[in-house]
Structure 1
Amino acid sequence: MAQVDQYAEKLVPNVHETGRDVAPTPPPTLQKPRRFWEKLGLYNMAVLLLGTVAVGIALAFLFFIWGAATHSQRSFPELWSSIVEKKWATRVVTLSSVLIRIATAAQLGVFAAILAALILEQVGVATEDLPLVSMIRCLNSGPHSLALSVVNSFFTKALFPYSLLIVLAILNAFALQFTSTILLTDFGDTNVVMETTRKNITFGLNRNVATGINPKGINTYGGLDYWKTGPAIYQRFAEFKENGSQTEDYVDTGKTLRGFPPHYMDSDRYHLRDYSGPMTVVDTRVICVKPTVSNVSVNVDPSQDDPTIKANFNWKSSIPNLEANKADQGKGFDINCTLPTAGNYDIKKDWQISLCSIGVDVARLLGGIISDDRDADYPLGKTSANLFLNATGSRRDWINAFGNDTQMERADTAKPLWTHFTRSNVTIDFSLCFINPLPASYEVEVSSPDDGIDSSILWDPATATFNTTWIRHMYGATKEHYTIEDRGQLRLENKANWTTSGVQQVWNITTDEFIWDTLSRYDYAAAHSFDDMAGVGVGLTTMFTSGSLPDYSVHRTHAAVFQDIIQKTGNPAVALQALTTILLQMAYYDFLSEYDVSAPAKWKTSAILNIPNQWKAFGVVLGLLVVHFTLVITAVRLFLARTEMSLLGNAWQAVSQVVSADTAGVLHEGATTTDREVRGTMKQSGVADGKVRIAKSVASGRMEATAVRQRYGATYSAPVGQV
């Protein structure tokens, strides 16, 4: 051991062949040339090839999930739909992540074996780490075990490039273990349009053509008054609308066709995106005119509940899309209506407004959804005339204002649509409106780019009033103009000829369009065109004030919606249009579960699904895989170019190359001791301070572990453990 101290020893770089002051050894054996697959080994090549294929398959599935999710608002493959509908998207991500982790881990085992070969042949390792590093070439244990073996000389100049590769591989492998967790951060709840549903759908009640009634005896007329019942929800509907027009003398909402989706579940309606099939459609166009009113008189008989007003009215004949009854237009039309006076329970901000039914033979709306001249009982069609009366003053005010004199005088105002009369401290305004819904069932096409909503009216306890903002928005009853989509409604496709699209023409089905009778309060007990003013019966009056008598009142939610519309827009046409739509919807959906006629339909709905809604995490994982394959490819290229003595996966070679004259003493010592004890002995003898590499021995011709040291400036080899 005393000889060790007299040598100044250090590693001589880039020395592959050395001579030793030892006795000659047997003649060197010839090395057989090896091709690249022999150097890598078939197993390692299979790991590299199949691992790449496995990662490619996993990425293809992941790209499929992400890519289809990007286009889920328009179209998507059937396979993707099945996966996300069954909520398997996260499972696909998990399984793909497992495949990626297994494949990359196996490839990193080959990477570690390659790095071990490069280090042993190009740089060398500490003598104490030689056995493990040599065995790593056939164990495929991963870069972490290699890092522990080379830590003693981790940052030396010769080893640093390989150390950097090892550190990058370990960090990248660690990150890839969280592939699934990383990818799932791209997931979020997303509205997805699902596949098309094709099935028959019920949409109405059958009507016997001969008897005019439902064969199953379903009574649609008994015990119902939708005017006095508020809707639980305000349903989404389909709409086609043309631009309206307005002057000082009239307002026309324009043709406004509204269809009621025949879906039983509320969620199906507000998730509906496309629909083709049968649907009940109504024409909710309203035209209101500023009437010419004369002979106005008021009856304030204290024995009556409310004062009544009689008058003769007419309007200009040049209003577009409105045809007057030519037989009556010359002398006008007489009315007798109840006045809407303020009561004890009226909300102070409410207008004292009522709707007086005039009848169905006053005028005809033109340009409707279908021709309205098919019913012999209604030679002028079914256009309903309704007179709005907007008054001020209580019942007592009206009694005091008139007494024995019953005449009122017209007051000239610039107020559009309303004709104004006044006396003393009471006033009244008139506006005459026409509507003809003509409900019928047709084959339709509707669509929407977004979900809608079935809304409910909200009570505001702070103001003790109903909040009707969203309801008015839904029905387009606002001063501001919003598109059909902005209002959350479906867009109804217009047809050049609606008659040919009727269910009777398309499917030979006759339905009972009973919802028309929902509006019968307009026409009930209406009377007009009497020559004798005193002979005019009092028309049915509907009041939209909270304190009105039961005979005249409507449900408080109807009154709230109507009041807010008329006050905020000043437009009686849109107020009547919204109210009519609500009443018709209530009747239609009230009987929905009892409908007994069906026809083929197809539709698409959306659903909230947990799918990828961004590409950030996917990009991170893709970047990690790029780093992984860059490291593996770099290692393979270096291995094939810079190694000559390592055949990966061969255990006998890994063991045999460790055995040499330089390692004989250490091997002898290690036969009966632990690694820790061997390291202790090596440190005491100074052997642990040297480096060992695999090189071709000049003396033996073997590829073996060789320690190269320098003494007095000359290169020489001292047997490890025997110096």
Structure 2
Amino acid sequence: MEHNNQRGSVSYKAVSSSERPRKLPLTKRPGLRSIGTWPTITLALSTVVLVSAIVFLAIFWQAAFSILQGRNVARFWMQIIQSGQSAITITITSAFIRTAISLQAGVATSMLSSIIVERAGISLWKLPMLSMIRSISVGPQTLAWPLLRRPFRKTPVLHLCIVLMMLVITIVAQFTSTILLSDFATETVVLPQNTTTVTIGFSDDTPDYVFSNGGINYWNTAPSVFPRFAEYGEPVETTEGVADTGLSLRAFIPLANSSTRSSLRSYSGPATVLDARVVCVRPILTDVLLRHPDDGDAEHIRFISGTVASGVQYSTLDTFSPGAIRHFNCTIITPKLNRGGIPVWYASLCQSDYVAKIATNPLSDTTTGTYLVFNTTGLPDPLGWQGYLSNWTVSNSGAWTTMEGVAGDFAQIISASLCFSNSLSGYQGSNLDNYNVEYSSNSDFTEPPLEFRLYSLDYQPVADRIVDIFCGSECSSKTLNERGILVMKQQSNWTDSLTNGTFSPSINEASSLGSNMGQGFYWRQPLYEGSNASLIISIDNVGINSGHVFIFSTILRRTGNPALGLQYLFTTIAQMAYYERKPYYDIEATAETVLSESLLVPRRWTGFIVVAALASVHLLLVVGIITAFLATTKVSLLGNSWMAVAQVLSQDMTDNLLDRASQMSDEEVREVLRSSGRDGVVRLPGPRMIGTSES
């Protein structure tokens, strides 16, 4: 029968099987030609992409671990990590890996189909599909299903295992990005050294109103956070009757942002340095008189007067003569009733005119201030008490001299220590200057805030971190870095490190800092003239913030060391004044800084090893399949559909079946073949029967 195509010139007619021309003999094609141009290009390019992606990931992983270990790496890798592009880099690389594996799996599946239909054989009813797979690129799942539907004893086990392995690899490859990112974690990464512009003080021509305190009293104001600082210190030998912090030079960090200071790992450049050493000695107190104020305006304010002399000889203090006597007339506070057990000391800080100088100070032109520290304990004053105490029982402990006085039912215990400090030396002075310094830390440290807990009336637990910073080795075994303090490098000559010219803060700035640091002190007139400026360190005094009182009291309770308590106060007040002015500083300088940053980086090798192993097994399978294809197949041409169709047509196997199969399902064709005894295993070329029926 002949059919004409009315829309064109093509015509065809159906012919009987007896009229079909005789097929030409099948001949083997050259190896590369049997693979085809596009499959060859696909295999070559995808292999390059896959290998390159794995090598790229290996270098990236190694670079990330080098960065975490503090080693230098190429700027390219650092930029990827520092810019936060690690995740997107892995996602893109994973897409290349998935694509390469999928493309190679498609070509390898076509080759496996050729090997099966030519060498292992397949049932006749599955032959058309496997033959067509040779001409198109499909996944291994297309080939796995026909093989799995064969009885196990008829299935080529090696081919089935290869197909299943490729199927598993192709599926797992879809999760490459997830597998790789499972190695990632947010880690603290130390960034490369960077040149930074910092401001370090006021120039000499800065108007006075710019660096004035603006009415701020740093004693009755708590800092929002306790800024980090750097320290160079030298320990001292323990001496009976002396509490000495040892040499303690503290450099402020000229970075205004708290988070930047928290992540600072090293700094090299100019910085303001404070001599924070405090030395306290046991005093000799004589003619001590405790009085109630005549005006009665402060129920628990008391005046204490007498003479003071040092009770010990200490070589660190110059122009210090044991037995030299100075008068004092100070203001203190006594305990109140119903305080509810709030853990603070009733302390006072009283300026003295006792003359001495800390001899081992390496900084230039520093002066020493002298203070009497009082701590009052014992029973609260009786209400309406208007008397005085002058008879005392004296005892000594450490750097303290303790006096106990009793008058009827009233008993009062007062401890005193004579202290010397270069931090705050008198009402108008503080020892601050700019030096070229270097300091570093091996860890970050979040600057602790001071948070008051109303329900418990204290500042715990944040206060413990603050106390650790200032309490030193007497409170814990932590290192400077563990306490959040950067370690400052020792200078061979600190005077030579003093910054030149415009780098030095003006005299006005130093005076202003000192003036502000002394704001909390005040004078009270007792029965006779000549009172000393005093600061009542108590929650009952509105002149000092309760946070300062709590930290100071906690340090004294834990250590009994007045030098550490004063060192905390002087350092904190100086820092508050420094950073409050920091936005207005107009002297600029350059410094080298190294910061850390929390970044997403590879933290282990597990995910990478899984992906690398997956790619390696895949490439081995592909190479093996290519080798087997070239060695064992004869008549397969990948990517050629007419060849795939024509080779299936066999006069002895498909006669009369093709005419009926155009309207039949595969299962119906299978039943026809089974009923006619032609459902055995066949293979190309032919096809010819090579086995028995598959039932």
What's the TM-score bracket when you normalise by the shorter of the two chains?
A: 0.7 to 0.9
Does residue 1:436 correspond to 2:422, yes or no? Answer: yes
Deviations 1:669-720 (A, max 9, x none): 3674445354443233232x2111124xxxxxxxx32223689xxxxxxxxx
Please provide the CA RMSD for this pair. Answer: 3.2
Pick the aligned partner of 2:313 from 298, 313, 318.
318
Q: What residue ranges of structure 1 are gaps of 5+ in the alignment?
A: 1-21, 209-213, 373-380, 528-532, 696-703, 712-723
249-258 vs 643-652, which moves further: 643-652
Aligned to 1:426: 412
Give the match for residue 255 of structure 1. Answer: 247
Are 1:522 and 1:540, in contact at CA under 8 Å, matched by a contact in 2? no
Partner deviation per Cα, 1:531-588 (whole Å, 9 max, x = no partner)? xx9977110111122224x5xx411111111111111211101111111111011101
Distance in 1 (alpha carbons) for counterparts of 2:609 and 2:240: 63
Residues 361-408 of structure 1 show CA distances to partners (whole Å, capped at 9, x for unaligned) of 610012224133xxxxxxxx52011111122357856997965xx633
Match of 2:465 among 463, 470, 476: 470
Do 1:471 and 1:561's aligned partners in 2 also have CA atoms closer than 8 Å?
yes
- The match for 2:164 is 167
1:67 equivalenced with 2:62 (yes/no): yes
1:319 Cα shift? 1.1
Q: Tell me if the contact between 1:398 and 1:426 (Cα under 8 Å) persists in the aligned partners.
A: no
Alignment of 1:520-539 (within 5 A): 520=518, 537-539=530-532
Deviation at 1:355, TM superposition (A): 1.0
Structure 2: which amino acid aligns with 1:350? Answer: V
Matched residues in 2 for 1:223 and 1:30: separation? 104
User: Deviations for 1:178-205, whole angstroms, at most 9, x for unmatched residues?
Assistant: 2122222223322223343323211211
**1:276-326 deviations in whole A, cap 9, x for unaligned?**
222111111111101122333344464465442222222256313211356
CA-to-partner distance for each residue in 1:149-199, whole Å, 9 max, x for gaps? 334426235612111111111122111112122222223322223343323
Equivalent residue, structure 1, for 2:273 = 281
Q: Is the contact made by 2:279 and 2:421 (CA closer than 8 Å) also made in structure 1?
A: yes
1:233 corresponds in structure 2 to: 225
Task: Assess if the C-alpha contact under 8 Å between 1:441 and 1:502 holds in 2.
Answer: yes
Once the two structures are TM-superposed, the CA of residue 509 in structure 1 deviates from its matched residue by 7.2
Q: Once the 2 structures are TM-superposed, how far is the Cα of residue 140 of structure 1 from its aligned partner?
A: 2.6
Q: Does residue 597 of structure 2 align to residue 607 of structure 1?
A: yes
Query: Is residue 134–residue 658 contact of structure 1 (8 Å, CA) maintained in 2?
Result: yes
Paired amino acid for 1:60: V
Matches within 5 A, 1:170-189: 170-189=167-186
User: Could you tell me how far apart the structure 2 residues matched to 1:476 and 1:46 are?
Assistant: 71
3-state SS of the aligned residue for 1:227?
coil
| Residue-by-residue CA offset, 1:197-235 (whole Å, 9 max, x unaligned) | 323211211125xxxxx3464242552321122222211
Inter-partner Cα distance in structure 1 for 2:236 and 2:568 = 15
- Structure 1 position 491, deviation (Å): 2.1
Distance 2:363 2:504 in 1: 18
1:485 pairs, out of 481, 484, 487, with: 481
Q: Distance in 2 between the 1:177 and 1:510 partners?
A: 66
Partner of 1:685: 676
Contact 2:470 2:568 in 1 (8 A): yes
CA contact (8 A) 2:90 2:180 kept: yes
Q: Give the structure 1 partner of residue 517 of structure 2.
A: 519
Cα 1:251/1:678, change in 2 over 3 Å: same
Kept after mapping to 1: 8 A contact 2:434/2:505: no
Question: Is this contact kept in 2: 1:58–1:99, CA < 8 A?
Answer: yes
1:104 matched residue in structure 2 = 101
Judge which range, 435-444 or 38-47, deviates more: 38-47
1:502 and 2:498 are equivalent in the alignment: yes
1:407-460 superposed Cα distances (whole Å, 9 cap, x missing partner): 3344234x2111122222222221111110321112222222221112112223
Q: Over residues 8-48 of structure 1, what are the superposed CA-to-partner deviations in whole Å (9 max), with x where a residue is unaligned?
A: xxxxxxxxxxxxxx9xx99996946x554234333333222
User: What does 1:133-282 correspond to in 2, within 5 Å?
Assistant: 133-153=130-150, 155-157=152-154, 159-208=156-205, 214-215=206-207, 217-221=209-213, 223-282=215-274
221 and 30 in structure 1: CA distance in 2 versus 1, 3 angstrom threshold:
closer
Moved more, 491-500 or 167-176: 491-500
Q: Distance in 1 between matches of 2:456 and 2:223?
A: 22
- The letter for the 2-side match of 1:537 is G
CA distance in 1, matches of 2:387, 2:443: 57
Following superposition, the deviation at residue 660 of structure 1 comes to 3.1
Query: Could you tell me which of 376, 382, 390 is aligned with 1:391?
Result: 376
Residues 409 and 422 in structure 1, CA contact (< 8 A), matched pair in contact too: yes
- 2:629 is matched with 639
Q: 1:277 is matched by which residue type in structure 2?
A: G
Q: Would you say the 8 A contact 2:187–2:601 is kept in 1?
A: yes
Q: Do 1:345 and 1:546's aligned partners in 2 also have CA atoms closer than 8 Å?
A: no
Spell out the pairing of 1:13-162 with structure 2 (5 A cutoff): 31=27, 35-73=30-68, 74=70, 75-153=72-150, 155-157=152-154, 159-162=156-159
Structure 1: which amino acid aligns with 2:514? W
Contact kept? 1:401, 1:426, Cα under 8 Å: no
Deviates more, 1:165-174 or 1:518-527: 518-527
Residue 416, structure 1, aligned to residue 398, structure 2: yes
SS of equivalent residue, structure 2 residue 334: coil
Q: Find the residue that maps to 1:102 and give its secondary structure.
A: helix
SS state at 1:170 partner: helix
Question: Per the alignment, do residues 574 and 70 of structure 1 end up closer, same or farther by CA in structure 2, a change over 3 Å counting?
Answer: same
Pairwise CA distance, 1:262: 1.7
Q: Is the 8 A contact 1:247 1:416 kept in 2?
A: no
What residue in structure 2 maps to residue 580 of structure 1? 570
- Structure 2 stretches lacking a partner, 5+ long: 1-17, 424-430
SS in 2 for 1:669: helix
Matched residue SS, 1:605: strand
Deviates most, 557-566 or 673-682: 673-682
If the length of structure 2 is used for normalisation, what is the TM-score? 0.85
Q: Which amino acid aligns with 2:421?
A: I
Select the structure of larger CA radius of gyration. 1
Are the aligned partners of 2:441 and 2:485 in contact in 1 as well (CA < 8 Å)? yes
The 10-residue stretch of structure 1 (349-358 or 589-598) with the greater mean CA deviation from structure 2: 349-358
What amino acid maps onto 1:51 in structure 2? S
TM-score w.r.t. structure 1 length?
0.82
Q: Classify 1:396/1:109 alpha carbon distance in 2 versus 1 (closer, same or farther; 3 Å).
A: closer
CA contact (8 A) 1:234 1:454 kept: yes
Report if the CA contact (8 A) 2:434-2:503 is conserved: no
Taking a change above 3 Å as real, the CA distance of residues 509 and 340 of structure 1, as seen in their structure-2 partners, is closer
Q: Answer yes or no: is the 8 Å Cα contact 1:324–1:363 preserved in 2.
A: yes
Deviates further, 469-478 or 34-43: 34-43
Q: 1:476-499 deviations in whole A, cap 9, x for unaligned?
A: 355223211111222222211222
Aligned to 1:291: 283
Cα shift readout 1:72-105 (whole Å, capped 9, x = no counterpart): 3324432233333443222222211111111111
1:354 aligns with 2:334: no
Q: Distance in 1 between matches of 2:362 and 2:344?
A: 35
- Given that 1:112 and 1:142 are in contact with CA atoms closer than 8 Å, whether structure 2 keeps it comes out as yes
